[in-house]
């Protein structure tokens, strides 16, 4: 954003406090589910009214009305563009830098609270990103473990929340997981193509794979070592997702000291951003 531009601001509707919001939630089931399976689904993390606000803001980012170009690129650039003027997979790192108060909204507040429950009280916000698979862009995100992007990690605890901005189902690119794969260690990863940022690893044909089909406003949550992927969007519906990621404070601090910030300073020419 150029320095003379005024950052848009978001006003959030009244919402329960986090303590109130957590009151009727199955906290032990969340903790055990995440520990055993390495992924979890929390339905309706956001209300319909709240989701509409994220839909509106992300539409403005996609159209360029909110200019995110310093943090925007095509994560699906390993293959030819399916539509000339649309990214195969549009990735915007750090969308919360572009709208005042965005990181004070219900997504960040509630995912922080759930992260503290499932990975520990020392979990802090690490980064956010926005991922869009526009209709008929048909570009898969190949199988991988997020930790393969992060290098040496002493404490492997982490939780990434993938909030469906649109209803997410198999054919528009919902998340898929291999349950329990977070306990296997880090697999060997390779770049999908020379000069591309995206990494992938092999998985066996016989693996159990579970699709996380969710409504807009719900989240899937995965550990940094959980194998996951998404199909390309072959439908005429959009598939947008807003991701927030949490890790232990010591790990985030150590990575920032090494200069690794998931592209916060801007991603152009920088390959170390997921
Ligand atoms: O949305 C996608 O296509 C993939 C997302 C992903 O791999 C992640 O959030 O870790």
> What CATH number has the domain bearing residue 78?
2.60.120.620
Verify whether ligand 1 is closer than 6 Å to residue 227 (CB atom): no
Note whether residue 63 is domain-resident.
yes
DSSP state of 47: -
**Could you tell me if residue 267 is inside a domain?**
no
Domain count across the chain? 1
**Domain presence at residue 20:** no
User: Residue 246: beta bridge partners?
Assistant: 125, 159
Contact 94, 1 (CB under 8 A): no
Does residue 175 lie within any of the structural domains?
A: yes
Residue to mutate, 143, 175, 177, ligand 1, most ligand atoms under 8 Å from C-beta: 175
Cα 230 to ligand 1 centre (Å): 7
**Could you tell me which of 197, 196, 178, 175 has the C-alpha nearest to residue 187?**
178
pTM of the predicted structure, to 2 decimals:
0.95
Q: Is residue 150 part of a domain?
A: yes
Closest by Cα among 46, 183, 211, 18 to 117: 18
* pLDDT of the residue at 267: 76
Which pLDDT does position 195 carry in this prediction? 82
Q: What is the dihedral of CA 188, 192, 193, 197, to 10 degrees?
A: -90
pLDDT at 274 (0 to 100) = 54
What is the 6 CA–ligand 1 centroid distance (Å)?
30
Q: Which positions of the chain have pLDDT values less than 50? A: 270-272
Q: Kindly state whether residue 265 falls inside one of the protein's structural domains.
A: no
Tally DSSP H helices, then E strands, for the chain: 5, 13
pLDDT at 268: 62
Evaluate whether 49 touches 119 at the Cβ level (below 8 Å): no
> For residue 272, is it within any domain?
no
Which residue range is the domain that position 210 belongs to? 40-257
């Amino acid at each position: 954003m150029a320095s003379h531009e005024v950052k848009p601001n978001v006003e959030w509707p009244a919402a329960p406090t986090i303590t109130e919001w957590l009151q009727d939630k199955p906290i032990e089931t969340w903790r055990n589910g995440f520990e055993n399976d390495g992924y979890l689904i929390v339905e309706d993390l956001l209300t319909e009214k709240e989701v509409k606000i994220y839909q509106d803001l992300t539409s403005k980012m996609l159209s360029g009305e909110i200019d995110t170009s310093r943090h925007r690129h095509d994560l699906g650039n390993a293959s030819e563009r399916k539509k000339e003027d649309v990214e195969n997979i549009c990735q915007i790192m750090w969308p919360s830098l572009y709208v005042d108060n965005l990181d004070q909204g219900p997504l960040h507040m509630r995912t922080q609270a759930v992260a503290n429950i499932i990975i520990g009280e020392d979990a802090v916000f690490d980064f956010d990103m926005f991922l869009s698979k526009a209709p008929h862009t048909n570009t898969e995100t190949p199988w991988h473990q997020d930790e393969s992007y992060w290098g040496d990690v002493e404490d492997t605890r982490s939780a990434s929340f993938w909030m469906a901005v649109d209803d997410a189902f198999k054919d528009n690119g919902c998340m898929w997981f291999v349950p329990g794969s977070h306990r296997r260690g880090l697999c060997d990863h390779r770049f999908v193509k020379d000069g591309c940022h995206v990494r992938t690893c092999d998985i066996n044909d016989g693996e159990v794979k579970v699709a996380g089909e969710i409504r807009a406003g719900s989240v899937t949550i995965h550990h940094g070592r959980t194998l996951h992927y998404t199909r390309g969007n072959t439908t005429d519906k959009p598939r947008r997702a807003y991701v927030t990621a949490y890790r232990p404070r010591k790990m985030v601090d150590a990575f920032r000291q090494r200069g690794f910030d998931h592209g916060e300073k801007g991603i152009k020419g920088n390959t170390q951003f997921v």
